[in-house]
Amino acid sequence: MRPSVLPLGIEATLVKPYFASGVDQNLLDNLVKDHDVIVTIEDGIIEGGWGQNIASYLGTSSARVLNYGVKKAFYDRVNIADLMRESHLEPELIAADVKQVLGL
């Protein structure tokens, strides 16, 4: 874990998962003690991804989970910048979503 303050006005902790097929329950249990929002970012399709496993595990906790990734679809001749923006996979858009959830 690496705590930091982002230039977008949010204190965040970056966690690089050790494995993608399961969840590190101890790590997540510790994260929710000090974090109100957990953000997951997929490197591909959001449906059935690692982030949804995290959201499922934390479903009964007080933490809000925001999952980001690309929707499952066939993309023919798509503009990557447009796809990233539509999927909210830009730092400014993710920060705005987090601020909204936190009421900032």
pLDDT per residue as tens digits for the range 56-98:
999 888 889 999 998 888 888 888 899 889 988 988 898 889 9
Q: Is the pLDDT of residue 5 over 60?
A: no
The pLDDT of residue 1 is 45
Would you say 66 and 39 are in contact if contact means Cβ atoms under 8 Å apart? yes
Average pLDDT over residues 22-26: 83
For the chain, domains (ranges, CATH) are: 2-102 (3.40.50.920)
Give the largest Cα separation in the chain, rounded. 44
